[in-house]
Amino acid sequence: MIGNRDGPPILRTLSARLSKRLTAWQITVITLLWLYISRNFAKIVGLESPEPLANLYTRSYFRATWITTALDAGFWTAMKIRSKWLRDLASMVFTLYYLVAAEQADEKVRKVRGRLTVDHLRISWHKSTTPYLSFLARLLRPKLTRYPPRAIRIPRPANSSYKEPVDAWLYFDGPLSALQNHTKVVLDIPGGGFVAMNPRHHEDKLLGWAGKTELPVLSLDYKKAPEYPYPYALNEAYDVYHTLIASQGRCIGLSGTAVPRIIITGDSAGGNIATGAVLMILQSANPDAQRYPDRDVLPPPEGLILIYPGLDMNIGNWMSDEQMALIQDRRTRKRNRNILRRKSEDYYKLTPDTPHPSDDEDKAFSPNLAPKDNSVVTADDKS
């Protein structure tokens, strides 16, 4: 063998210093003890998956739930602090505390889930974009693209009932000038329970797609309930698709020489919106819908990719009836009443065979038409 038999210079220096303080036996014992602790840390500090969960979850999964529980507990503890910089700092300090006090973290999370609100959901789901966690994510995430995402606003089509542009993020691994060479677009609608999250919370997926496919990925930052109740987000998705087709992609930097080929994707709540938008697009070619001159016939997308989509709102899931009411409660029609009325008219133009709500039902939710004796009882009142 070539080289010093005592090892490279660094190891020889370290060995010389340790030999002055520790015997060979002590070094051996310390090394074996360190190996044992590193392999059994979770068991020693009581974080290993207990029975009967040990047969359901792996050690790595249980440790992941320990970390996410501590994060939720820490961020929820600090959520009422008004100063943003102090709230961000306190969230991390509380998280470090709950990493050690795992039982207190679990108790905190159980209490919050018993009175969960939209604010709690947003704090929990948005924590990945807070300064400290986003910095850590940038350090650990592999570099998937050379170019960062770009914020973009998509104008509404001329015949839309809305005028405010739709916010979005464009993920494209290249200069904007290179978009001129593309005729394919991925239109993504991210999930978030209809009430939270935007494309920046899904960047692992979006950056990966943009880097692997080398295609422009347009991800919508649609408006959320309850501030913008259904069908606002659905109409945003439909209007963006309409604008992409009508402008032949010029709205995002394509050459505009050909109608772009579009694949629509969505996960969770975004999968629900994506499916609804595709149904509206298909209905635009319905002969009954073509009787209206203000309706454009849109070509169908090249494909629809759904990732664990929320398509059945009646199944028993983790959301309570009170949380679901934030989305389903028809009394939220009091918000943006005129917009909702116009979009309902547009919807029935596209789907003339869909049963209309009864007159009594409309009166129950109209303050001007409601009976004065307050005799109307809704499903929510009965429950």
Cα 80 to Cα 82: distance, rounded to the nearest angstrom: 6
Tokens of 297: 């016939």
Task: Summarize the confidence of residues 239-254 as an average pLDDT.
Answer: 94
The pLDDT tens digits for 45-85 are 666 655 545 566 677 777 788 889 999 999 999 999 999 99
Kindly tell me if the per-residue pLDDT of 374 is higher than 60.
no
- The 8-class DSSP code of residue 177 comes to G
Cα 321 to Cα 382: distance, rounded to the nearest angstrom: 13
Task: Summarize the confidence of residues 361-366 as an average pLDDT.
Answer: 44
What are the CA-CA distances from residue 262 to residues 15, 137, 242, 379 (Å)?
Answer: 63, 30, 11, 41
> What average pLDDT is seen over the chain?
81
Cα 117 to Cα 79: distance, rounded to the nearest angstrom: 12
Q: Which of 99-113, 141-155, 342-356 has the lowest mean pLDDT?
A: 342-356
Residue (of 159, 299, 185, 200) closest to 253 by Cα position: 185
